[in-house]
Amino acid sequence: MKKNRTDSVWVAGHTPLTGYVSTQGSKNAALPIISAIPLLPEVELYNVPDLSDIHVMVDILKELGGKGEFSNGVLKFHNKHLENTPIKEEYASKLRASSLFMGSLLGRFKEATVGLPGGCVIGSRQLDIHYKGFETLGTEVSMEHGSVHLKTNGLEGHFALSFPSVGATQNLISASVLGEGEVTLHNVAMEPEVIDMIHFLNMAGANIQYIQPATLRIVGVDGLRPVRYKVQPDRIEAMTLLIAGIATKGEVTVTHCQPSHFAYPLQVLSEMGAKVETGSDYITAGYQGPLKGTTIKTDVYPGFPTDMQSQLSVLMTQCSDVSVLTEDIFNNRFRHLEELERMNATIKMEGNTAFIHPSTLSGCRVDSFDLRGAASMIIAGMCADGLTSVHSLKYLYRGYEDFIGKLNYLGAEITYR
Ligand code: EPU
């Protein structure tokens, strides 16, 4: 990970971003793929982003007895000595994705003990759909001393998710790929990150089929083989950089991305009046004012992603009329709006809907409460009058490999404090 990073930065205002920048590997694709490593004898993963959350996942694999190394975006790992030791709460509580080891350890060893997970505080983030799925498909689930204990003779049958949870879909897939049973999952999440994990497992010899758009059939196999796999580009990072370009009245081209993974969010930017041009693996987005306000509700894929909501909220302050933003996926993901109000934004709340008025932002001290909120505060600082100090950047480093370096390369003036 980058050295000399501090927990807060000074951000200079009115710095239009211009130029070309590449996209990192996807955090939310890499995390579930890494969580599935116990199912394989050996892996080589490429395009893995160098993030604190990724390092914690690798540390957990090492605690389980896996051997390998992660450097320069490449993770090489083998499981010759992997053991089914409980994943302690002190590890699990560091991130939400640790819960995904429940599925892979259950799949590999038919039994797993995993401490309760942590993660960014953006809502209640329950695991009830995961547990219900494990139980319905033939697993005993119990809670013991702050850990979840799972035991099965093999998963089989049908399970319909009450909501297409990304993590529950990934956990149930991992739990089902090995063995003699056949599992059908209905109402699964269709996010590109879920599909990347399915590609990875199928390349290793799993038999996971889409039999209808949101229905998966998983036919158990005896074992998986070693695989080399390149993690897909990070659509959330790409969109964050594009929004930063538009909000600062500049023009940014993001390369090495997959525009089809965020077709609807790009359409939203275009409908707001921004210039948006896409090629097969790049997107250019720029300011051409005035920007129009818009009405957006976060939704599951292919709707507007919750992970792009806070960045969009900053752009909404730069529009010429009122925007309406509703957060429907997480129940506590508007904390950044209070910080935007400290920066002089006019925002009226009604439940989980924010009415965001055209605002002249003014630099001040602001805090971050989750990783997308941290990125948004930095974008807000680049649009504001004067200097903004953004704090609690430990959240930023969970999801963005070199956000500040990329912004400065594009013309920002951000300095570590
Ligand atoms: N939910 C339940 N019960 C469950 C599972 C989920 O009520 O058993 C609720 C959650 O509380 C939440 C909603 O369903 O309100 C969505 O949860 P989901 O399980 O779909 O999300 P996740 O797997 O916990 C992943 C990403 C998040 C991203 C969401 C939604 C990873 C590691 N995390 O979380 O990413 O916001 O899907 O797309 O893949 C981020 O990158 O900033 C981030 C938070």
What sign has the CA pseudo-torsion 236, 400, 19, 361? positive
For the CA of 300, the nearest atom of ligand 1: 38
Q: If you take atom 31 of ligand 1, which residue's CA is the nearest one?
A: 28
Q: To test ligand 1's pocket by mutation, which of 95, 125, 172 has the most ligand atoms within 8 angstroms of CB?
A: 125
Helix (H) or strand (E) holding 263: helix 263-271
Q: If you take atom 39 of ligand 1, which residue's CA is the nearest one?
A: 28
More confident residue, 168 or 125: 168
Is residue 239 classed exposed, middle or buried when 0-12, 13-18 and 19+ CB atoms within 10 A define those classes? buried
CB of 29 sitting under 6 A from ligand 1: no
250: pLDDT confidence band, cut at 50, 70 and 90? very high
pTM of the shown model: 0.97
Helix ranges (H only) for 137-247 are 166-176, 192-203, 235-247
Residues 414, 387 contacting (CB under 8 angstroms)? no
Q: What tokens appear for 352 in the block?
A: 């989980």
Closest CA to 253 of 284, 286, 288, 287: 284
119 pLDDT higher than 90 = no
Question: How would you classify the pairing of strands 251-255 and 283-286?
Answer: antiparallel
CB of 123 sitting under 6 A from ligand 1: yes
CB of 336 sitting under 6 A from ligand 1: no
126: pLDDT confidence band, cut at 50, 70 and 90? confident
Q: If you take atom 37 of ligand 1, which residue's CA is the nearest one?
A: 166
Question: How would you classify the pairing of strands 275-278 and 283-286?
Answer: antiparallel
For the CA of 130, the nearest atom of ligand 1: 8
Q: If you take atom 42 of ligand 1, which residue's CA is the nearest one?
A: 307
CB of 108 sitting under 6 A from ligand 1: no
Q: What tokens appear for 162 in the block?
A: 């009450």
Q: If you take atom 26 of ligand 1, which residue's CA is the nearest one?
A: 28
Q: What is the pLDDT of residue 86?
A: 93
For the CA of 191, the nearest atom of ligand 1: 38
Q: pLDDT digit string (tens) for 344-358?
A: 999 999 999 999 999
Q: What is the pLDDT of residue 5?
A: 87
Name the residues annotated as catalytic.
Answer: 120
For the CA of 330, the nearest atom of ligand 1: 15
403: pLDDT confidence band, cut at 50, 70 and 90? very high
121 pLDDT higher than 70 = no
Question: Which string of DSSP letters, residue by residue, matches 102-147?
Answer: HHHHHHHHSEEEEEPP----SS----HHHHHHHHHTTEEEEEETTE
Q: What is the pLDDT of residue 120?
A: 59
CB atoms within 10 A of CB 292: 13
